[in-house]
Amino acid sequence: MMQTSGLLKHLPDRTGLDRLWSVLPDARLVGGSVRDLLAGVAVHDLDLATPEPPEEVQRLLEEAGIRVIPTGLAHGTVTAVVNTVPYEITTLRRDEKTDGRHALVAWTQDWAEDAARRDFTINAMSLDRHDRLYDYFGGQQDLQNHRVRFVGEASRRIAEDALRALRFFRFDARYGTGSPDREACQAVSEQLGLIGRLSAERIASELMRILSGPRLPETLAAMMAVGLLPLILPEPDLTSLNRLLDCDAPVSPVLRLFALCRERSQKLAVRLKLSNADAARIGTWASDWPALHPAMADDDLRRLRVLQDLERLLERSWLRQAYFVGAPDIAWDRFRSRLQAIPQPEFPLSGKDAIAEGVSPGPGMGQWLKTGRDWWMAQGCLPDRSACLAYLATQK
């Protein structure tokens, strides 16, 4: 259960961690930081657990001159900031009551009891300041075997928080290989009724992480097999998504979501409460305007750059390539390169030019500028200010 690990030497900078340990010597690194140190991948957040109650943790840190943010005292969590780096510190807990969304917790001094309430064995390990690894449920072996398992009874873990059904597939995609754990899949299938209790925001957040992760076709197929995917995304089009993936398109969870649910994407954006920016992107893709084709002339490409934001055009080009080709394609690659190489065209006239030409403010000025802009666009967005004024002079 406990062993000297040699993991701490892999941290690029443990100055802040050592300062926290000087104040909270019994604290341990927990969760993802320990898992990723063992897996040999980059550690982004150093989270700790400690036996002291949260108010005591806050007092001790503040007395040591460490800035503390009470980010979740009711759940036993504070955030310590050392050299601008945040460290989340949570008091050891046990669940008193759960309803599938939230848990009523009580503090404990028992590390094994705290580990038992975590989701997966690979997330239930801890590491103390002496570089000793504590593994109560075989997480290290599961990590070595590329196996993701729930701590204890899978069905019970999901009943405590239904979001764990989605989290299981996200973690299995990253740390597992082959078929997902059979007990976990069975538990997810049996607990599908709990998914409806989750907020749209929590579902969307977890779904986007899955869509941006590795082994996506296998993961979605497994989610489909247990009935989870169609519960979240009615009638998902896995073939369309696979065509996008086969094009080697850049990783974009929203783009992948659109490929999965093109015909229902706008309603889905509302249901999942996506951000206004993402909903607008989906609306742009759904309209499929202006038309794109890889053999477009340079004049047409300049017009495209005027009509639509470059990023939206590039995203739409990947969707068009997926729809018509479904594989890497030199023609579409050249199209994107040509599109990006074109300087952003800017219509050279403004209201000041209209006034200088004797055009009064109001509808007439708007029409004057529109006439000039339409002609400028028709000429491939190339005429300069003088040429545009000369043309408008002929329209009086």
Mean pLDDT of 317-326: 97
* Contact (Cβ atoms closer than 8 angstroms) between residue 240 and residue 322: yes
243-278 pLDDT per residue, tens: 999 999 999 999 999 999 998 999 999 999 999 999
Lowest pLDDT segment from 1-5, 58-62, 156-160: 1-5
The secondary structure of 18-49 as a DSSP string is HHHHHH-TT-EEETHHHHHHHHTS------EE
* Contact (Cβ atoms closer than 8 angstroms) between residue 101 and residue 191: no
Q: Do strands 48-50 and 67-72 pair parallel, antiparallel, or not at all (unpaired)?
A: unpaired
Q: Which residues pair with 3 in a beta bridge?
A: 133
17-41 pLDDT per residue, tens: 999 999 999 999 999 999 999 999 9
pLDDT at 115 over 70: yes
Domain extents in the chain: 1-145, 152-232, 235-345, 351-393
Mean pLDDT of 219-227: 97
Label residue 104 by pLDDT band (50, 70, 90). low
Domains 1-145 and 152-232 share a fold: no
Per-residue pLDDT at 1: 65
Average pLDDT, the chain: 94
pLDDT at 122 over 70: yes
Q: In this structure, which amino acid lies at residue 344?
A: Q
Residue 146, judged by CB atoms within 10 A of its CB (0-12, 13-18, 19+), counts as middle
Label residue 94 by pLDDT band (50, 70, 90). confident
Per-residue pLDDT at 187: 97
In CATH terms, the fold of domain 152-232 is cca-adding enzyme, domain 2 (1.10.3090)
* Strand (E) or helix (H) holding 3: strand 2-4
Say whether domain 235-345 belongs to CATH 1.20.58.
yes
* Contact (Cβ atoms closer than 8 angstroms) between residue 6 and residue 132: no
Label residue 395 by pLDDT band (50, 70, 90). confident
Higher per-residue pLDDT: 335 or 99: 335
Q: Radius of gyration over alpha carbons of the chain, in Å? A: 28
Label residue 205 by pLDDT band (50, 70, 90). very high
Mean pLDDT of 173-197: 96
Higher per-residue pLDDT: 94 or 337: 337
**CATH number of the 1-145 domain:** 3.30.460.10
Label residue 166 by pLDDT band (50, 70, 90). very high
